[in-house]
Amino acid sequence: MRPSRPGFPPVVPWGAVARGRLGWALLLGLLLGVADARAACENASRPRALSQAEALEDFELAVAAIEQAFPALDWHRPKGHWRRARRTARAQLSAVADDVGLYRLLAPLLASLGEDHLTLRPSEAMRCHFRQEAALLPLDLYWTERGVSVLRGFGGAADIPTGARLLTINGQPWRSLFQEMWRAVGGDGDITTGVMRELDGDGYARQRYWLRGKEASFQVRLLLPDGTPRELTLAPIPLSARPGTQDTGAPLATLTWLDTDTAVLRVPTFSNRRYREAGASYSETLQKLFEELAERKARDLILDLRDNGGGSESNENVLFSYLVERPIRKYAFVEVRANHFAITSRSGQRFEQTVFEPEELATYARTPGGTLRRLDQPLLGLRSHWHPVSPIFKGRLLVLVGGRTYSGAAELASMLYSQGRALFLGEEVGGTHAGNSSGYDWTLTLPNSGLELSVPLIHFRLNVTGLPRNRGVIPHCVLQPDATEYGVREDAVYRLAVELSERPWHKPSSRLCAR
């Protein structure tokens, strides 16, 4: 599953806390968590000053962990890219004086590798500072290939209408603003949509603060929905005046019927943990839904994966097995560089990580190059699935995808696309078509700055063709809704899928998208 990007945790509305003993336990946990965070913040220096020796030690430790354990160093970028990028970053270390400066140096270095599972999280001191003192751009934004639009404004921007186009901030054009974030936030390969979805809502304001710190004001140029240009100066607003994002979406797959022939299957996650927390089983949920599809003799199925960021390995395979009866060779290979990693910092601190327990290690074999590759045998192996399921849906399949379709969900999209099984609608998938590095990770807290580095350890190379390695599945019908439909499930992409389900067609084709 895609790790969270740096920022403030989502706000949990009081009404969402369950009643009864479980509800009170959750409420107590939230209160204790807040108390612990406050206590930690009281003891955290803001920012945490670093000597040159300390900054160098943390930098070299991060580099060593990546070079020893990251399994795809030269996959998305040309050979030698990492060496040059590392040299450039090391040359800038003399300007680093604290944890914030080191974060701003390391984040673009990691992002340059093009693997979004490789993440850097701000230190606790930085997060404390953010919660207590951050002042942000007072705009929620929505990013597309056509431009960036305002979703809502706060403070002096409260009267800006939804859909107004943001042209510049402090004279910097929107494309330049995006490129700045692209270099710092990064995404999978050369895919822009994944980064756009991370910048949606308050994402841009938060990331801008991490990269630039406090700003006195924001000179913005806008084009209102009626075509009227507008220029204004906006003051930053504190975090408390900017409502946080609420995650109230249920994790369970659901099936709704449009008519007697067509159903919509929404699968928001492949995470077994989230299903367990909801008191359900992923495999049992899918079995019941596909039995319902068979019982009611569905002709068309619209599969919505737009909010699915992945989850537990092989759950994408379970869904695939209900849509494609015959197993396929899913992976060209699955590889780790070693089963045990160990590095020592410049001051003598030891950091170690073991990847597999003995039982799982037995499912891997050492290659002539010294790496470990997974054997093609149950339970996981290299195939899409080992055992048939029933019933299989054999009708027409329309799949809705986007920048948040990531990790395991991106793998499912690639498998279905490579088999010509579905008509795809939406925007480019956020995960690269040919695979990713994810699974287990090695998380290190850098000793001087407190920055948290997470290095994915397993490289999953898909056995697919048809698209460039650094791109995601590109839909047959490419469509990005406008800002007025942001967060609306039954948006323009959904409506197009419904329309196409009512037309006669047999094979997926971009020709179907013409209106």
Provide the pLDDT for residue 11.
26
Looking at the DSSP assignment, which residues form a beta bridge with residue 334?
Answer: 460
Single-letter residue type at 443: T
Closest CA to 207 of 119, 136, 307: 136
107: pLDDT strictly greater than 80: yes
pLDDT tens by residue, 487-505:
999 999 999 999 999 999 9
Residue 129 vs residue 397, higher pLDDT: 397
pLDDT tens by residue, 185-223:
889 999 999 999 999 999 999 999 999 999 999 999 999
Single-letter residue type at 241: A
Provide the pLDDT for residue 466.
81
Helix/strand/coil for 155: helix
Residue 35 vs residue 433, higher pLDDT: 433
Closest CA to 131 of 205, 3, 238: 238
Residue 467 vs residue 361, higher pLDDT: 361
Region 391-419: mean pLDDT is 97
Burial (CB < 10 A; 0-12, 13-18, 19+), residue 224, is middle
Half-sphere exposure (Cβ direction) of 163: Cα atoms closer than 13 Å: 9
Q: What angle (nearest 5°) sits at the alpha carbon of residue 380, between those of residues 376 and 382?
A: 40
42: pLDDT strictly greater than 80: no
- Which band of pLDDT confidence, cut at 50, 70 and 90, is reported for residue 76? very high
Which three-class secondary structure string do you get for 339-377?
A: CEEEEECCCCCEEEEECCCHHHHCCEEECCCCCEEECCC
Region 300-308: mean pLDDT is 97
Region 371-398: mean pLDDT is 96
Closest CA to 314 of 284, 291, 283: 283
- Which band of pLDDT confidence, cut at 50, 70 and 90, is reported for residue 310? very high
Provide the pLDDT for residue 3.
35
Q: What length is written for the chain?
A: 515
3-state helix, strand, coil in the chain (%, to 5): 35, 25, 45
Burial (CB < 10 A; 0-12, 13-18, 19+), residue 351, is middle
Provide the pLDDT for residue 97.
96
Looking at the DSSP assignment, which residues form a beta bridge with residue 142?
Answer: 149
- Which band of pLDDT confidence, cut at 50, 70 and 90, is reported for residue 36? low
- Which band of pLDDT confidence, cut at 50, 70 and 90, is reported for residue 445? very high
- Which band of pLDDT confidence, cut at 50, 70 and 90, is reported for residue 247? low
Helix/strand/coil for 458: strand
Which DSSP helix (H) or strand (E) runs through 77?
none
Quote the CA–CA distance of 45 and 78 in Å, as a whole number: 40
CB 65 within 8 A of CB 455: yes
- Which band of pLDDT confidence, cut at 50, 70 and 90, is reported for residue 246? low
Quote the CA–CA distance of 215 and 194 in Å, as a whole number: 27
Which DSSP helix (H) or strand (E) runs through 428?
none
Kindly give the residue spans of alpha helices, DSSP state H, lying in 387-481.
408-418
Quote the CA–CA distance of 86 and 109 in Å, as a whole number: 7
Region 246-275: mean pLDDT is 92
DSSP annotation of 239 = G
Bridge-based pairing of strands 423-426 and 396-401 is: parallel
Provide the pLDDT for residue 250.
84
- Which band of pLDDT confidence, cut at 50, 70 and 90, is reported for residue 27? very low
Provide the pLDDT for residue 9.
29
pTM for this model (two decimals): 0.90
Quote the CA–CA distance of 147 and 61 in Å, as a whole number: 39
Quote the CA–CA distance of 371 and 132 in Å, as a whole number: 46
33: pLDDT strictly greater than 50: no
CB 467 within 8 A of CB 415: no
512: pLDDT strictly greater than 80: yes
pLDDT tens by residue, 148-196:
999 999 999 999 999 999 999 999 999 999 999 999 988 999 999 999 9
Region 124-136: mean pLDDT is 91
Kindly give the residue spans of alpha helices, DSSP state H, lying in 233-378.
272-277, 282-295, 315-321, 358-361
Quote the CA–CA distance of 324 and 399 in Å, as a whole number: 14
Provide the pLDDT for residue 240.
87
pLDDT tens by residue, 58-74:
999 999 999 999 999 99
Q: In this prediction, what percent of the chain has a pLDDT beyond 70?
A: 90
Mean per-residue pLDDT over the chain, rounded: 90
Q: What angle (nearest 5°) sits at the alpha carbon of residue 379, between those of residues 375 and 384?
A: 80
Provide the pLDDT for residue 243.
76
Quote the CA–CA distance of 361 and 355 in Å, as a whole number: 8
Which domains are delineated in the chain? 52-116 (no CATH), 138-235 (2.30.42.10), 254-510 (3.90.226.10)
Provide the pLDDT for residue 361.
97
Q: What is the CA radius of gyration of the chain?
A: 24
251: pLDDT strictly greater than 70: yes
Region 435-450: mean pLDDT is 96
Quote the CA–CA distance of 61 and 55 in Å, as a whole number: 10
pLDDT tens by residue, 457-488:
999 999 998 888 899 999 999 999 999 999 99
Provide the pLDDT for residue 16.
27
